[in-house]
Each structure stands twice: as structure tokens, then as C-alpha cells.
A and B are shown apart, each in its own frame.
Chain A
Amino acid sequence: MTETSLLAEIRQAVSESLDRLDGVIALRRSGTGVAPHLFQRGDDLSELVIEPKYPLMTVVSRLHKRFPEIRLGVVARGCDERAYVEMAKRNQIDPQRLTIIGFACTAEEAQECYCSQPYPQKLVVGQPAPAGPVNPLVAEYDALSREERFEFWRRQFVKCIKCYGCRNICPECFCEACAMEDAAWVEPGLLAPPFPTFHLIRAMHMASRCVACRECERTCPAHIPLTVLYDLMRRDMEALLGYVPGADIDAEPPLSVKLDKVPLRQDVGV
């Protein structure tokens, strides 16, 4: 399917769904650039675009909370739907009031994102592309010695300017008060931010929430390969607790429930 015909189909799907929805969230290209937009019945859909990739579920969540009756649709990639799953589980999006108009990413996009599932389960437009490879950095990482690992991250984290871009863009970071800004844990006023607290607090919070949308890394102005760390956490989350964020809306957050509901799958030597 060519890109233009994919887009045409998406616009068509959006147009049809607008009959029964208050609006559909998608990207809009205007004179000033591309931004999320609430398309409503009667709007000109020729400005609806799907690039660049942007985590639209955050907008859905804000509108759901602000307008408790609003019924929305959203144009969503695979990662958007996974983000929705983890947000819905945590009461940030109401599944009863959201229609997902899913479309498949291209094979090139899947490779760029090292994406293991480049299409949503609620697929309306497009054909599933094959999964991208595992990030080679992650693949090499296990072979690195402890000193090499430390050195790797020291060089990366020293670039961090504490812009909070990673946190701001992340769909799962919907907290009003953020632990990374809590003076109890992270001493204020330090650049580069304190290690290991600043970066590892976020990684621990991401353990049961990161859906591998890659937005954090794409946003980071210092090009820190954050997804390497989060991919490692996701790997542990699956090995230890059998949990893959975004896979199953009925699976309860594994760290919050008792062991008889979600047991440990490995002996951790306690």
C-alpha cells in the first residue's frame, strides 16, 4: 500500500467514524507545522497527516479527564495502542469512550524503532509489517563488563541537561507530581543530574509501563539512548513476572498485586 493510499484510507475511516463521535484526535499539518488536532464533523480532513510519529494518547487522556462525557476516536499506531492499554489500566483513559482507528507502520518504520509489534491489534488500515530487529546495542550489552557498562552510561548521562523531555513526552508519565522533581529523592540544582537516582528512578517506574514507543529517545536533545536501558527493564519484567506492558488490558500491574496473582518466575535467591 503506498503512503498516499494509506493516508487516504485513514482519512476515509476518520470521516466515517465522525458520524458517531464527538471528535477524532490525529495530527494536522497547517501553515505553522504539524500538531495534534481534534477533528470534528465537517472539518477538512485533507490536512490530516500521520507523520511525524507523535504519542497522541496523552491528548486523548487530557480530553477524557477534562470532558467526562466526550466520545473520541484516535488515529493510532501499534505503540499508541499499547500506550492506551497501560493508561486505561490506570484510569487515565476510559475505554468505553474511545474508538481506536489503528493503522500499520511500514517495515522501514518498524526497523527504525526496533519495534516488535509495528501495528495495533485494532487494525483498521494497512497490513502488518514484519517486526524490526532488537536494538543491536541491547544485543551487545550483555557482553560488556561492569566497568564498560558504567563507562557507557557515564558518558551518556553526563550529557543530560535535565530538560525532562523524556518524561514530558512519555505517554505513561501522566503523573501530576513527578518523583524526578521530588527534592527528597533528587537533589535540586545539579547538572548533570545526580546519579544513580535521577535516571534509575525513571527506569524503575518504566519497568511495568514502558511500551517501547521510543519517543523519549527521539525527543532527547542530547541523544541519550534511553531505550537501551528501558528495553533491558522490559526484558527483565517479562522474564521475572511474565508481564509485557501494553499487551493485555486485563493483566493487572504486576508489581502491585500479590504473588498468588502474579508470581515470580525465577528464583531470586532470597
Chain B
Amino acid sequence: MMDAGRHPNIHLLTYAEVDEVSGYVGHFHVKVRQRPRYVDVNLCTGCGACAEACVFKKGVPNEFDAGLSRRRAAYVPMNGQAVPLKAVIDDKACLFLTRGKCTQACLEACPTRAIDFEQKEQIVELDVGAIVIATGFEMFDPRRLSAFSYGKSPDILDGLQFERLSSATGPTQGEILTSAGKKPERVAIIHCVGSRDANANRYCSRVCCMYALKHAHLVRDKTGAEVFEFYMDIRAFGKDYEEFYERVQEEGVYFVRGRGAEVQVREGGQLVVKAENTNLGIPVEVKVDMVILATAMEPQPDADKVAPIFGISRSASGFFQEAHPKLRPFHTNTDGVFLAGACQSPKDVPDTVAHASAAAAEVLSLFGRGEVIISPTTAQVITEKCVGCGDCVLVCPYSAISLVEGKSSVNAALCKGCGTCVATCPSGAIEALHFTDEQIVAQIEGVLAW
């Protein structure tokens, strides 16, 4: 990330969102909404003095620690590891920006006078030749499955929360502690929370088995606690993955083949996991000090709003749809728009690197050629027949048709060849190349000759 931040050809627009995309491959015009940081990035050194001085001491849940710690309204994101290393003021938390009442201690505290409450939102317009979407994922919210009692005890954690707990930059500097501040003696890890589940997501989230094994390994290593891992299958599909699974077994983790069905919070806060040990055919109940829910990766919650901005579609699971699941997993059906990483489907790091590198290579290849090869099965207007009624303009899902001097015109780079315009035109003034009405009628007559 730091390398990307330093590269002269990479221009980072942080705290920004794409509002609008128009154009087509090689000629996209993008409007980006740059939100105000209320910090002048040319002056800010990322020292964090504003955060220390911030009057809102109670703060809000820190997103970077998955809610396990709190931060103030002024802060340097990612626990001081942001790229670029600059502060930002959260305009939903800041007392001055929300209520107009604050001593604004941050203004004085900043050694370079970088804080600027006058900053406004800006629209940045960019002309680009290709777009790569790498918007990532969201963790499944276990509150949707009440059996796991998530939220009813501070010692029931989801996958990302445990990552933060065991991270050296996290809320406990990497020590695995229960909410009572002690090392746990018994930990349960439950697989497939929010995946492989008709009540949540049917798909397998691919990464959870391996990260659950990693969590088990970390617990054993750092605390020596007993670990019970409740699983349906162990999906250790990658290079050295099976070997790691064997190692974790040898480290003494108890693997119980049976979906963790329920987490109870009993009197005094005692956590109990109930499951069926399907190998033995008996129900089991285990009292533990900490439960880690191996939660699934899900599409970002705004994926349904983001997809139409780029003219792409989503799969049934909600992730952005690839052009072909096997042969073109990082292309979309919109030329010039590519997918990188978990926004397309759950992926771990090696898969994401491969996927993203492929998308980057495809962009380079596109630019290197300087030409786009398009499918010949596009629509074409027969200008003499067109009376400019505009129905075709309305039906095109790709906005590939426009009226030019009163007649329709198809942008062959945008046209995907669906033919809906052809069926809509009452004059037959648009034809579908290689799928013409005459060809189809010939087929109709041909099959009925039987």
C-alpha cells in the first residue's frame, strides 16, 4: 500500500466515491465525489496530535478494530497506519460539525495548523481508459442468526474481530484476552457462520476454514487454551493448506464434526456451545470462555447501488458478476471494466493477488493494443428507415443508442448485441447483425419443415 502511495503514476483519491461513469472502453468519463477531510493534506504530517486533543473523548467504535476499541472524531485512520498518513475528522461524530458546539481543541493542537473546517465536498472529473473495481467485501453480521447470541456477550467474536484481537496493532497489542482481561482457558471456534446456510448465504465462503485454523493455532500458541473447532467440512484446498491443517491437529485442537448449532449465554455470562458430534452420533455441550464465529464474506451492502454506476451486473449471491466463471473471472460484461478481488467472490490473499494481477495485466494489454476487439453481433441502424421515435434509446440496457440529428445511432463499442432494440423498433430500422429477422424467419421455417 505504501508503494502504491509513493508511485509517481498512481494518484490516490481517498475519502472519495465514484458518483457517475459515462462513456465506453478507452473513453470513460468518471465523476468522483471527494468528501472533505477538514484537514489540509499538504500541511498534515499524520502526527495524531489532533486525535489526542479531540474533545469527544468518549468517541465512536473504531472500524479498523472491528468495533473492539473506540476512536475520537479526529483521528489518523487504521490505527495510525493509513496511506496516505493523514488525519481526518469524522463529520458524523465531530461535535463542532454536528452541533456547532466545541472548543475545537484540535485547531490549536495541530503543529502545522492543518485543520480547516471550511473545506467543502469537491467533484473531481477524470478521463480514463479502463476501470478496475476492487471494492472488497463485508463480514456477515451474525446478529442475523440469533442462535449464535452475537452481541449478547463481549466474548463472542466474529472472524475479523478475532483478527484484530490477535494483531500487534490491535486493542490488546496482540494479547488474546477475554473481556475480564484474562487469558481464556477454553475457546470454541464455529465454522460456516452465514455461509452454507439456507437462512443466510448458500455459498461456501472459501476463506473461513483456513482462517479458523489460523485462529485456533494462534489461541494455542499464545494462550495454551483448549480449542474446540466445530466444523462441517475442512476446506484446505490451497498450496500447503492441508499440511497446515495437519499441524493444527497435532497442536492438540479438538475437531468436532458437527455444525455449531447454538451459543448460549448462561447465568454469570458463561458461554456454552451446543452441537452434534456427527462422527459419534451424540449431542455435545461445551462450556467455553470465548467463542469465535468464523463468519462468511459477503458483498458490500451497497453493491446493488454500485453495480449500475459501472454498468455491471451481480451474480445471484450479490457479488459482482464476472464475464465467465471459468474463462474470464476478472472481466465483466462491460468492456473496459474489470474486477479484482473479493468484490467478485470470496477469496483469500493468494487468490486475490492472482485475480488482481490478472485484471491489471488485462488493462495493460488493452492499452498496449490501443484497439478494442468487439463482437460483430451488434445492432446497426438503417438510417433511411429511422424516424427518430427514440423507443430504442429507452430500451437499451447499455445506453448504447442515441439520437443524432433526429436519427438513431448505435455505439458499437457499447452495444452488447442483446437485440431488444431490434424487437422494439416498429419500422425494422435497426437490425441485429448476424441475428437478423430474415435469418430468424429462415430458421423458423426450417424447423417447421419437419
Contacts and interface: CB of A to CB of B under 8 A. Distances in A.
A touching B, CB within 8 angstroms: yes
Interface of A: 65, 90-92, 174-179, 182, 184-185, 205, 252-253, 255-257
A256 B388 contact: no
Nearest to B390: A91
B391 A177 contact: no
Q: A interface, by DSSP: helix, strand, loop or mixed?
A: loop
Contact of A177 (B385, B390, B395): B385
Interface in B420-448: 424, 426-429, 437-438, 441
A177 B424 contact: no
Contacts of A178: 427
B393 to A, nearest CB: 9
Given A253-B391, A253-B394, A257-B394, A176 B441 contact: no
B403 interface: yes
8 contacts: A90-B388, A91-B390, A175-B426, A176-B385, A179-B427, A182-B428, A184-B428, A257-B395
A182 B436 CA distance: 13
Lowest 5 CB-CB distances: which A-B pairs, in order?
A90-B389, A177-B385, A256-B394, A175-B427, A177-B427
A256 B437 contact: no
B387 interface: yes
Nearest to A206: B426
A174 B387 contact: yes
A176 B385 CA distance: 6
Contact of A184 (B387, B426, B441): B441
Contacts of B67: none
B406 interface: yes
A184 B435 CA distance: 13
Interface of B: 382, 384-391, 394-395, 403, 406, 424, 426-429, 437-438, 441
Contacts of A90: 388-391
Nearest to B441: A184
Contacts of A177: 382, 384-385, 427-429
A205 B424 CA distance: 10
Contacts of A255: 424
B383 to A, nearest CB: 10
A92 B428 contact: no
Contacts of B385: 175-177
A109 B387 CA distance: 33
Given A205-B426, A255-B424, A256-B424, A175 B437 contact: no
A176 B428 contact: no
Contact of B438 (A91, A92, A184, A205): A184
